[in-house]
Structures are given as C-alpha cells and as structure tokens.
Homo-oligomer: A and B are copies of this chain.
Amino acid sequence: MEIITGGVCAAKGFTASGIHCGIRKNKTKRDLALIYSEVRASAAAVYTTNKVKGAPLTVTKNNIADGYARAVICNSGNANTCNANGIEIATETCRHLGEALGIEGSDVVVASTGVIGQPLDITPIKNGIPELVGALSTDGSDNAAEGIMTTDTRKKEIAVSFTVGGKECRIGGIAKGSGMIHPNMATMLVFITTDCAISPAMLSRALSSDIQTTFNMVSVDGDTSTNDMVTVLANGMAANEEITDTGADFDEFMKALNTVTVYLCRRIAADGEGATKLLECTVSGAKDDLCARAIAKSVICSSLVKAAMFGSDANWGRVLCAIGYSGVEVDVERVGVSFTSAAGTIKVCENGAGIDFSEEVAKKILLEDEITIEVTLGDGDAASVAWGCDLTYDYVKINGDYRT
C-alpha cells in the first residue's frame, strides 16, 4: 500500500469540483462541491443515529437503496435540517444536478452542512450547478474538499493505492469535521471514492465494520450531529475481479479503506473547533473490544481531560475519573497511565495510584501538538484507540458566536 496524491480523484474515472455559488456571504469561500464517476459505482453510506436527521440524509438513503450512485453533491453554510421544505430542496438539488450531468437524479448522493433550522434557498445551488459541472476535473479534489468545509481550518484529503487480484486499485477520501463532532454509527461528512470493483453488499459491509473503530471513535465536543454521513463510491474501473465475498481481496480492500479512514479521523480530531492539539487515547489490556472502546472514548470526551491537555497539565486523576464513569467494570488497582508525544513518554500512574514523576518532563511532553494518553488495564487482551482534541478558548469563541 502506498500513499498517493489526488484525494477523491485518485481512483480511475472520478472527477471533482468545488465553487462558490452564494449560499455563504463570503465570496472567497467555496460552498458547493461535486464528485462524479464516469460509470455507475457501487455505493454504501452510513448515517447519524441522531433522531433529528438532516433532509439530505433521507433523500440519499432513498437514492442509494439500489446499491449504486454516480455523483455526490454537497453544500456548506446551511445544514438543510429542521426546515419544512428540506426534503423538497434536497430532491430538487439531485434533479437539477442529474439534468446537468445527464444522469438520473436518483443516482445522486446529496449532503449539507452548516447551520440547522435556517431555510435553504435552492436558487444559488440551481444557478451554480452549470459552473460546478463545467469545473469537473481530475485535479478537483482540493476544491471539493474546500467546498465542504465549515469551521474547519484545514482541508482533509488522502488517497492510497493497493493491489487486489494483481490489479492496482486506488481509494481516496475527503472529509469535513470541526464542530458537532461525536459520531455515532456514522460521522461528519466523509466522501470516499475507489476504482476497486466491489459489490454494493460487500462495500456496505466493509464500511459498516470499519467505522466502529474509526469515525465512531472520534469526538470533538460530544455533540452527535444531525447530518453525519460517510459515503463510499466504488466504480470498478481498476478492472479487478469484483469482490463479492470475504477473503484475501476483501481484507486488502478493508486495509486500504482503514488507512484512508484512520487518516481522516486523525485530521478531523486535530482540526476540531478551536483545537491546538490532537489527542489520541490508546487502551490495552481490556476485557473485550467494547470495553476498550468505551474507555478510550470516555477519556477523550472528558471536558476536564481536554482542558488539562490544553494547559499541558499532566492531571492524570482526570483520566482515572473518566475511566471510572465510562460504564465499564475495571479493576482500578491495575490501571496504568502514561503520556507520550514526540518529546518522549512519561508514566504517571501505576496500579491505580500516582507515581513520582518529573512535572518538568511531563510539561515538555504535553507541550507537543500530538499527545497520546496510554491506558493499560490488565483485565484482558482487547485494545482500542480514540481520537479527540483539547478544549480551548477558541472553541468557546467559535461556538459562542457561530450563527450570528
């Protein structure tokens, strides 16, 4: 497997574009993105578990019920959620795009991100579609990645090449994250493309399995969005024998998919609203996977742990506290905690109690911008990783005055 450039256009037969159509007032910010496959592609998606669901999710779910799609359109600046005519707007968006591309409106994946509960005017989208379609290119992944950003400060994009049945395949993705990030079942907005030939059923299986240890293990602020969605389009243009069952080929695909998703998870967490640091919590020695995940997630979700990491304060008692309220039965007297970064590793807790450590060395380690909190349990062999970010003044600033 090899990291390559090109994002969602790395896979054969995919083009993309991103433009400013006018949903946002800021004319320098692209607010409409498109990904297009030359040929019909297997499509899989997972969605938020929030009971309040964005209208685009309902329309997308319906459109890919047959297992196939050709294009993805996504606007930023408005979530098209809690609007009386949301379904109509999302459906019309698909229809207009279908006409411009010469495909069925029902072969379009539609997504929206931005403020909830503000009516979305279709005019800028409708008027922007010709330009959006005209701009499609194999270099367009960057612009599409920008078009889906809200409070994100950095584009999130990756691609890898891998081999299935002797054929070189490619898979790439773009994502937006930043705020209201605490995915449950699905996540944020993530669009992945691959030219690997894989049946819709196996693609769906791969995605549903992968997200349990990737996107579902990310949290910026504990708020599960109404519009989370991860979609994968697989157009088969790599000409490998189609993956229709488990086995070596499926495993290879899973590995490539996981490389893409883990990368995007880390980038989403690191670019959480106001974040200055990426936090990674690794848990080992757990009774089972679910226990390991619950603990890792509890630690990276703790406001107090997040604030301590912002202050580069080795306040490990807060890590123990978060382990304790995770809902998992743990033998507290076996718990160990270390902090690791590019500046080194320091053990701060052993057998559930503090050990002497140098505050100076701890501070140096915690001043880095990628921190790993290592939790060892001694209750079994299961392990897990979760990703989050620190809680900062800027998180409060961004969210105290986001809408107005």
Is the CB–CB distance between B352 and A82 below 8 Å? yes
Residues of B within 8 A of A353 (CB): 82-84, 117
Residues of A224-270 contacting chain B, CB below 8 A: 224-226
Query: What are the interface flags for A312-329 relative to B under an 8 Å C-beta threshold, 1 for contact and 0 otherwise?
Result: 010111101111111011
Residues of B within 8 A of A398 (CB): 307
Q: How far is the CA of A221 from the CA of B179 in the complex (A)?
A: 17
Is the CB–CB distance between B304 and A399 below 8 Å? yes
Is the CB–CB distance between A222 and B313 below 8 Å? no
The answer to whether the Cβ of A52 comes within 8 Å of any Cβ in the partner chain is yes
The answer to whether the Cβ of A184 comes within 8 Å of any Cβ in the partner chain is yes
Residues of A82-99 contacting chain B, CB below 8 A: 82-84
Residues of B within 8 A of A396 (CB): 307, 310, 391-393, 395-396
Is the CB–CB distance between B180 and A82 below 8 Å? no
Is the CB–CB distance between A223 and B322 below 8 Å? yes
The answer to whether the Cβ of A50 comes within 8 Å of any Cβ in the partner chain is yes
Is the CB–CB distance between A116 and B321 below 8 Å? yes
**CB closest residue in chain B, given A311:** B400
Residues of B within 8 A of A313 (CB): 400-404
Is the CB–CB distance between B349 and A400 below 8 Å? no
The answer to whether the Cβ of A359 comes within 8 Å of any Cβ in the partner chain is yes
Q: How close is A31's CB to chain B, nearest CB, in angstroms?
A: 18
The answer to whether the Cβ of A161 comes within 8 Å of any Cβ in the partner chain is no
Q: How far is the CA of A323 from the CA of B53 in the complex (A)?
A: 11
The answer to whether the Cβ of A340 comes within 8 Å of any Cβ in the partner chain is no
Q: How close is A168's CB to chain B, nearest CB, in angstroms?
A: 41
The answer to whether the Cβ of A44 comes within 8 Å of any Cβ in the partner chain is no
**CB closest residue in chain B, given A328:** B51
The answer to whether the Cβ of A330 comes within 8 Å of any Cβ in the partner chain is yes
The answer to whether the Cβ of A354 comes within 8 Å of any Cβ in the partner chain is yes
The answer to whether the Cβ of A118 comes within 8 Å of any Cβ in the partner chain is yes
Given contacts A301-B222, A304-B399, A396-B391, contact A50 B321 (CB under 8 A): yes
**CB closest residue in chain B, given A392:** B396
The answer to whether the Cβ of A202 comes within 8 Å of any Cβ in the partner chain is no
Is the CB–CB distance between A320 and B52 below 8 Å? yes
The answer to whether the Cβ of A10 comes within 8 Å of any Cβ in the partner chain is no
Is the CB–CB distance between B223 and A318 below 8 Å? yes
Residues of B within 8 A of A208 (CB): none
Residues of B within 8 A of A67 (CB): none
A-B contact pairs, 27 of them (CB 8 A): A49-B325, A51-B326, A51-B330, A52-B324, A82-B320, A82-B332, A115-B317, A116-B318, A117-B316, A117-B353, A117-B354, A118-B354, A182-B325, A221-B303, A222-B302, A223-B304, A223-B322, A223-B325, A226-B324, A310-B400, A311-B404, A315-B402, A315-B403, A391-B396, A393-B396, A393-B397, A396-B396
Which 7 pairs, one residue from A and one from B, show the smallest C-beta to C-beta distance?
A: A116-B317, A311-B400, A52-B324, A307-B399, A117-B317, A224-B325, A50-B324
